[in-house]
Amino acid sequence: MTTSAFAPIRIETTPDLVEIRRHLHAHPERSFAEHATSAYLADQLRAHGVEVLDLPAPLETGVIGLIEGTAGPGPRVGLRADIDGLRVTERTGLPYASVNEGVMHACGHDLHMTGLLGAAFWLAAHRDRFAGSVKIVFQPAEELGLGARRCIEAGVADDLAAIVGTHNNPNYAPGEVAVGVEPMMAGCVKFRVDLHAQGTHAGYPHKGTGPIEALASMILALQTIVSRNISPFHAVVLSVTEVHGGDVWNVVPAEAGFQGTVRFFDNDDERIVERRFRDEVESTARAYGIAADIDWDVLQRPLVGDPRLSQILADDVPAYARLRPIRPSMAGEDFEEFAKRIPVAFAFVGSNGEPGCADWHSPEFVGLDGAIGPGASFYANAALRLLRELA
């Protein structure tokens, strides 16, 4: 039996989708508190004939939709978008800027949600074009690195043959899509060090074992871990981002500490950095006569799409967008949690491309409406193609 060749479809950036995107941008909500966002997304799906499933425990926010094809039985694939905003005060000056004080879609999740809605609307209106079914997954709390894990605990991925995600990327222009077999987003470690010493009067430092000098020595020593232990051909970053200790100008504190992050693309590199990190902190603490507690939390491993499926989707992109090479990002993405269980594919969708434009998590970040159509097209074509390939 022969089957017809796959013909990718194109979804345009329509005024209706722009209106949806701007509403979502103006009403961001924090991680695991996306109640109004979830209600809005569910209403949009129902209005376009998409079944909205009961939210399985332990999920309390997010939305799960289901679109059954009418061309026969087949596999089920998932399309995922993240929905949470960031604790950032917006400074874009946009007419649709956030109305929720101190919260902003500074990572462009409003674009992700709108792109997935656009794909869902098209798939619901063209059920006769595919066999099998498509699960629409609006995932909470990506910014905490916990939302995908919560979805998996709730069984969202249990019936899926594969799942597809996207992230807008301001380093690409609207109409550009990057997908392929290379690593896309870095693994992410969150570390915290708490130092415990004997506080004393600032005029009598010899009567205590203050932690401030130890803290300073540790932070300086940690900056040599990457340069002296990791191959210069491997991308690894270690950043100390928060330091705390002391409340009064004339007291040597008993407690101090710091926290930060490590980003990596090779799991062996992460293990080397952790070993050297612990060695540096523990040996310095001993030298200063204090105690150190270390919390090393690998939030995500590097995000790499399934090689076969990613290449198939990349081959289709030129029919509806401009395919671009992958430029790996040092940002993390909890979509990687799904890759531990089922095949995944992931794409960068261009969202700005102007020289000097603000990047993710900036209060000046601006994602352009022109990213909506290409994002929706990638989602929809990925679903159609994977349903054929995995049948």
Residue 132: left (phi > 0), alpha (psi -120 to 50), or beta?
left
Q: Is 48 annotated as a binding residue?
A: no
Coil/strand/helix, residue 165: strand
Q: What distance in Å separates the CA atoms of residue 177 and residue 382, rounded to the nearest whole number?
A: 13
Q: Is 143 annotated as a binding residue?
A: yes
> What are the residues facing 67 on neighbouring strands?
134
167 assigned ligand-binding residue: yes
Q: Tell me if 107 is assigned to a ligand binding site.
A: yes
* 3-state secondary structure (DSSP) of residue 191: strand
Pairing mode, strands 51-52 and 63-68:
antiparallel
- 274 labelled binding-site residue: no
- Give burial (CB, 10 Å; 0-12/13-18/19+) of 241: exposed
Long-range contacts of 124-128 (CB under 8 A, 24+ apart): 124/48, 124/49, 124/50, 124/67, 125/48, 125/49, 127/67, 127/68, 127/69, 127/70, 127/71, 128/69, 128/70, 128/71
Annotated binding site: 107, 109, 143, 167, 361
Binding-site residue numbers for Mn(2+) are 107, 109, 143, 167, 361
